[in-house]
Amino acid sequence: MFFPRSIPGIMKRFNKYSRHGFMIKKKIDINKVTIILILVLGITCGVSTGLFFALTRDLPQIRALEKFKPSASTRVYSADKVLLSEIFIEKRKPVPISAIPFYLKKAIVSTEDKNFYSHSGIYVKGIIRAIVKNIIERRYAEGASTITQQLAKTLFLTRKKTLTRKAKEAILAFQLERRYTKDELLGLYLNQVYFGSGAYGIESAANIFFGKQVTELSIAECALIAGMPKSPSRYSPLINSDRATKRRNTVLYQMFSDGIINKDEYDQAKNAPLKLAQKTDYSTKAPYFVAYVKKNLESIIGETMLYKGGLNVTTTLSYKMQDTAEQSISKRLEELSKRMKRNGIPNPDPQGALISLDVRSGGILAMVGGTDFTKSPYNRAVSARRQPGSAFKPIVYAYAIENDFQQNMLLLDAPVAFKGSTKGKPWQPENFSNTYMGEITLRKALALSKNIPAVRLIDIIGVSSVSQFAHVLGIRSQLTPYLSLALGSSEVTLIELTSAYAVFPNMGTAITPFGVTHVVDSRGKIIWQAKPVKRIAMSRAGAAVMSNMLEAVVMEGTGRKALSIGRPVAGKTGTTNDYKDALFIGFSPTITTGVWVGRDKSLTLGRGETGARAALPIWIDFMKTALAVRPYQFFDIPDDVKKCRMDSDTGKILPDDSSEGAIALFKK
């Protein structure tokens, strides 16, 4: 075919024909025709260029795939290696292409894209065939996407079926084919594609459907998985095993027809029974703790890394202790509900919370934030601010001991009136028992949880000073500057009150509670590690004296039930007005544990439901199990503390060989 070199050349030929009487009778104006043709050519080029840029201007950079990692779930483990939870947007565990069985790769190619290794991103014959079939059936009956196109769509585009998306898909497929090998593209596809029933990627599919790693799959199992991407919800064996088996056999026949397997392998695989994995409980263990950990990690490593990074998170939690805590709260609150019904309380709905800390590090050993996370994810161990009642008193006594008060000093336990907040209306605190003992030692006043001595003491040493000291110990909540602070009128959280108590067995060192020890990435590299935060909050001598005084609560006072543990332990009960809150916060030399029982609407638990009755039994159940595997240990006594025998009632120091009184510690 002849193509003239220029527009003027065309015009000369037309003029030549016109002189010889051919079709054109009038000589053509060369300039006008030239301009028209140039305009048509320009418009065509402009439209084509505009269309190209419209399709490609917002396409992602394929180079980004060089650093691309498929989204993978993060696993959270307890300190004793129990899997607590998997955190993910898509449940996925990527594997290298070398780990994927030969038959699975061949089955996928045979089923999804038979010409995968020969085309350059799109398969033209397949597209034409699909168009013809869709026109004939007047519906979207058949697709023609190659594996590369499916990968481009999954990674970069939406699933909306439009001509624009298909055009972009084709352009991206060409770019992917130019930059990556076929095996690299197949590996990306198998790690990215959705196989149904929550399985994203081939390793997840092998685990969910067969309870295996992908390397362990048989030919029949490979065929079943290979048949699922076409319609994951339809062909999932967990939804319809018969339909999934028929689809598997169709794939096996395709593999046999393509020469991937021989006749014996085909017959054997076709007749193989479908052995699915036993249903696995993927529910989160220690859900309140896991939610607490997730929230902290989001601020430390970021949401993207946490939910997609395939990390391994090791926590401080002891799963055995956690299990004991959950069982005890369930059992004891059921008993409490029955008592509430007997007391005529309608719709009893008690809640409970527990937090246990390692004394030395601050690591969280157990955390229960409520009775049922699925019904109420609100974490009462961490977020709920409630009045601690008498459980706040040890902070008042600790500040007094730090300021050279001794536990054998006397306070007056008798009715008293203080200037109230309303003019002409004094505040008159009362003892819970409505009885008074006259002069009483600090030790006995704390052991018996007397209100009047505690209020007199805070009046002497100063409310603002006690408030500041409480913050030093670990209380972060705002404390009201009133004398009633001594009786626990200011609301605090269970975790901060428990961490404040931990100062006493930790010889005056305050710790900051934490839940994660370290985070490891998918390559085994530690990307974050906890650094326990410690600070001196009070003297070693003062802390030792306070531990001794709180031992007296167990030996001589409101916490006598804890003697059943048979170990050196100390602690304090707490009960608020109208029995709305019941607490016990206590410790051994190595573990500090706080328990709260109450109702979310701040209603009564019923008459007589004190900290000793409603909360202490949970604490005892937990500490018995926690201490059973630990060596017997006494509380430390530092050098600057002396040990004496004293009369708890009068405060008189007794001879060392006396059989009377109790062993008491004093700052030298």
pLDDT tens-digit readout, 516-562: 999 999 889 999 999 989 999 999 999 999 999 999 999 999 999 99
pLDDT at site 171? 73
Interstrand relation of 312-315 and 74-77 (parallel, antiparallel or unpaired): parallel
pLDDT (average), residues 211-235: 92
Q: With bands split at pLDDT 50, 70 and 90, how would you rate the model's confidence at 611?
A: very high
Per-residue pLDDT of 615-657, as tens digits, reads 999 999 999 999 999 999 999 999 999 999 999 999 999 998 8
The sign one gets for the Cα dihedral 557, 562, 568, 570 is negative
Report the catalytic residues: 112, 390
Query: What is the three-class DSSP state of 314?
Result: strand
Which sign does the torsion angle of CA 15, 21, 27, 30 carry? negative
CATH number assigned to the domain covering 324-667: 3.40.710.10
CB 612 within 8 A of CB 558: yes
Burial class (CB in 10 A: 0-12, 13-18, 19+), 78: buried
Contact yes or no for 139/131 (Cβ under 8 A): no
Residue 260 has what pLDDT? Answer: 94
For 359-515, where are the E strands, in sequence order? 364-368, 410-413, 418-422, 425-427, 438-441, 509-511
Other beta carbons within 10 angstroms of residue 85's beta carbon come to 22
Phi, psi angles (nearest 5°) of residue 492: -140, 165
- Taken as a whole, the chain contains a residue count of 668
Which strand (E) or helix (H) includes residue 664?
Answer: strand 662-667
- pLDDT for 291 equals 94
Distance CA 382, CA 142 (A): 55
Q: Strand 653-654 vs strand 641-646: parallel, antiparallel, or unpaired? A: antiparallel
Give me the sheet containing 581-587, strands edge to edge: 364-368, 351-358, 591-598, 581-587, 570-575
Instruction: Tell me the C-alpha distance between 252 and 240, whole Å.
Output: 18
Q: State the angle between helix axes of 30-56 and 7-19 in degrees (0 to 180), rounded to the nearest 10.
A: 140
Please provide the distance, in angstroms rounded to a whole number, between the alpha carbons at the two ends of the chain.
Answer: 115
Q: Structure pTM?
A: 0.74
- Would the pLDDT of 58 be above 50? no
CATH homologous superfamily of 90-270: Biosynthetic peptidoglycan transglycosylase-like (1.10.3810.10)
Contact assessment for residue 311 and residue 297, using Cβ atoms and an 8 Å cutoff = no
- Could you report the per-residue pLDDT of 320-354, keeping only the tens digit for each? 999 999 999 999 999 999 999 999 998 899 999 99
Q: Which residue type sits at 45?
A: C
Separation in Å, CA 71 to CA 87, 188, 393, 586: 11, 11, 51, 44
- Which residues lie closer than 8 Å to 644 by C-beta, 6 or more apart? 653, 654, 656, 663, 664, 665, 666
pLDDT at 69 over 70: no
Q: What pLDDT score does 10 carry?
A: 45
The Cα–Cα gap between 247 and 266 comes to: 14
Distance between CA atoms of residues 326 and 288, nearest Å: 11
DSSP assignment of 74-131, as one string? EEEE-TTS-EEEEE-SS------GGGS-HHHHHHHHHHH-TTTTTSSS--HHHHHHHH
So what's the pLDDT on residue 184?
85
| 571-599 per-position pLDDT tens digit | 999 999 999 999 999 999 999 999 999 99
pLDDT at 132 over 90: no
Of the spans 21-25, 229-233, 250-254, which averages the highest pLDDT? 250-254
Residue 507 is given by DSSP the state: T
CB 660 within 8 A of CB 650: no
User: Using 50, 70 and 90 to split pLDDT, how confident is the model at 304?
Assistant: confident
Beta strands in 286-437 (DSSP E): 312-315, 351-358, 364-368, 410-413, 418-422, 425-427
Q: What are phi and psi of 653, to 5 degrees?
A: -80, 130
Mean pLDDT of 89-114: 87
pLDDT band at 446 (very low <50, low <70, confident <90, very high): very high
